[in-house]
Amino acid sequence: MTDLTKLMPLLAGQAGVWAGTYRYFDPAGRLVDEHASRLTCRVAPGGGWDYHQTNLYTWADGRSDSREFRGRWRDDRLWFDDGPIDGWAAEDRLDPERRTLLLQWRRRDEPQTRFYEMIQLDPTLRLRSRVWQWIGADGRTRLRTLIDEQKVADDWR
């Protein structure tokens, strides 16, 4: 297995449990969905994976959903090709503060949509802000997702 603490220290620093809120906006900027989240991020979890993330989403009306994301290191990126998405994550080496991750992926249930994500972390790695752009096959923005999270535990176990 790959040592992501050396190859992707910003990603490795996110290991733990994060709580936050996802907000979805249509192209006109209208809020179309909002829900709470609890993400468990694991580095070197075993089982042939370099990274494993479990997302639990809950809505105010009582609905919930859970998703698993697993990745392997290759070609200078963390690749996700198992579970609900295909794509990659990489640290933005052009960011002089080294606090930016970039992701590009497709959801298996939305193959015509390309997702572009940027993750910004604060200097303590306790707060993060995430932005998703949902871009359709025609190049038009379908949705934007804004995510604000706080690390609530360092130990993901």
DSSP string for residues in the chain: ---HHHH-HHHHTT-EEEEEEEEEE-TTS-EEEEEEEEEEEEEEEETTEEEEEEEEEE-TTS-EEEEEEEEEEETTEEEEEETTEEEEEEE-TT-TT--EEEEEEEETTEEEEEEEEEEEE-TTSSEEEEEEEEE-TTS-EEEEEEEEEEEEES---
Residue ranges covered by each domain of the chain: 4-153
pLDDT digits (tens, 9 = 90+) for 75-130: 999 999 888 999 999 999 999 999 999 999 999 999 999 999 999 999 999 999 99
Taking 80 as the threshold, does the pLDDT of residue 45 lie above it? no
pTM for this entry: 0.94
Confidence of residue 64 (pLDDT cuts 50, 70, 90): very high
pLDDT digits (tens, 9 = 90+) for 26-44: 999 999 999 999 999 999 8
User: Which one is the CATH code of 4-153: 3.40.50.970, 2.40.128.20, 3.40.50.2300, 3.50.50.60?
Assistant: 2.40.128.20
